Amino acid sequence: MDPLLIVIAASVTLAVFSFVVGIRASRRSAMEERLESFKSDRQAGPVPDAEGPVLRKRSYSGLPIFSAFLAQLRGSEQAAINLERAGLPLRVGEYYIIRYAMALLFLLIPFVFSRGVFAFIFAGGLAVLGYALPAIWVGSKRASRSKKMNGQLVEMLGMVANSLKSGYGLMQSFEFAGKQLDAPLATELKRMLRDANLGMSAEDALQALGERIGSADLDMVLTAINIQRTVGGNLAEILEKVAFTMRERERIRGEIAVLTSQQRMTGIIIGGLPIGMGALFMLINPDYMGLLFTTTAGRIMLLAAAGLEFLGATSMKKLLAIEI
């Protein structure tokens, strides 16, 4: 294997990694911007310069030197938040090691079979794919966990509102809800109560809960609580109205899913048709389809087809993603 090709491929992989991390670190959702005025001035997560025994610097790795290096990267904090929201017991250092190991493994696979120009191009694409796969897995875990917690929020709001009507305080109501609910929302509520019992203020504990979960529905609940604590009002009634709004949103989401089901099925069939036909022709006439894998023109056509499939799937997903 030519060492120069390996060095060039590693440089390309590092450049793509830096670009992706920079883009992800610079993103900011519109929901966060709208809720900025209702959030307290103190940050929910551990702040490097924070004072006191409760807020402390986040550790990105078990090795202090590696943790200090990761702290200088702009995307490390967001990666730590994503791991927390996914419920994965991984540190940022371990997460990055897994991503780089996957990229290196996928980079070396094509050179086992060939060492031509096409192998180099294919290796670069596979390296990017290998680096992105752990992030895709973490994103799917985060989305699944967030969806499950969003389904528990309405039940939690009902319990908290009823407890407030009975004369309990806000944190006592959350404690009651945490005992009645199942994971993962119960786990996050118990963690929030533990932070409050260890000395963190109620505002900071609730804000940290919102940061860990990263749910727009929970942000709406916390915004309602912050507004009530600022201007006053009946918190139980406010939470009941928020729960009603969330139930209506879920109902509208269900209607949209029904109305767009035909389009989603059409996209799946159209996207899977080339793959199915290619596999069928490979079984019928392997020599005819083998030209796609043995000739340069065939390989280029395969790469172009894979790119177009990816663009088509992404476009369909964006078109059908209707925000409520």
Tell me what pLDDT residue 101 has. Answer: 92
Mean pLDDT of all residues belonging to the chain: 78
Alpha-carbon distance of 209 to 171, in angstroms, equals: 13
Average pLDDT of span 232-236: 82
Residues 264, 291 within the same domain:
yes
Say how far apart CA 241 and CA 223 lie, in whole Å: 13
Q: Write out pLDDT tens, residues 263-303.
A: 888 888 888 888 888 888 888 888 888 888 888 888 888 88
Q: What is the pLDDT of residue 98?
A: 92
The pTM is what? 0.64
| Domain termination site, one of 247, 282, 303 | 247
Domain range for 156: 147-247
Least confident of 10-19, 38-47, 205-214, 280-289: 38-47
> Is the residue at 11 inside a domain?
no
Whether residue 205 is found in the same domain as residue 172: yes
- Helix runs in the chain, H state only: 3-26, 30-34, 64-71, 76-86, 92-113, 117-165, 170-180, 185-197, 202-213, 216-231, 235-259, 261-284, 286-294, 296-320
The number of domains in the chain is 2
Indicate whether 226 and 290 sit together in one domain: no
For residues 181 and 243, membership in a common domain is answered with yes
Report yes or no on 92 lying in a domain: no
pLDDT of residue 13: 55
Structural domain includes residue 76: no
10 lies in a domain?
A: no
206 assigned to some structural domain: yes
User: For residue 36, what pLDDT is reported?
Assistant: 52
Which of 203, 218, 247 is at the close of a domain? 247
Mean pLDDT of 115-137: 84
Last residue of a domain, one of 201, 217, 247: 247
Q: How far apart are CA 195 and CA 77, in angstroms?
A: 20
Q: Are residues 238 and 264 in the same domain?
A: no
Where residue 222 sits, what CATH number does that domain have? 1.20.81
3-state class (DSSP) for residue 37: helix
Question: Is the pLDDT higher at 322 or at 207?
Answer: 207
Same domain, 166 and 224: yes
For the chain, the residue count is 324
Do residues 292 and 264 both lie within one domain? yes
Phi, psi of 74 (to 5 degrees): -70, -30
Q: Look at residue 66 and tell me if it is in a domain.
A: no
38 residue type, one letter: F
CB 48 within 8 Å of CB 59? no
234 shares a domain with 311: no
**272 burial via Cβ count (<10 Å: 0-12, 13-18, 19+):** exposed
Is residue 109 a part of any domain in this protein? no
Q: Please report which confidence band the pLDDT of residue 119 belongs to, taking 50, 70 and 90 as the band edges.
A: confident
pLDDT at 35: 46
More confident residue, 14 or 320: 320
In a domain, 110, yes or no: no
- % of the chain residues with pLDDT over 90: 5
Tokens representing residue 69 in the block: 């290096």
**232 and 315 share a domain?**
no
- Residue 149: CB atoms within 10 A of its CB come to 24
Asked whether residue 31 carries a pLDDT value surpassing 60, the answer given is: no
| pLDDT 10s digits, 50-105 | 333 344 456 777 777 878 888 788 888 888 888 888 888 888 888 999 999 999 99
Is residue 177's pLDDT more than 70? yes
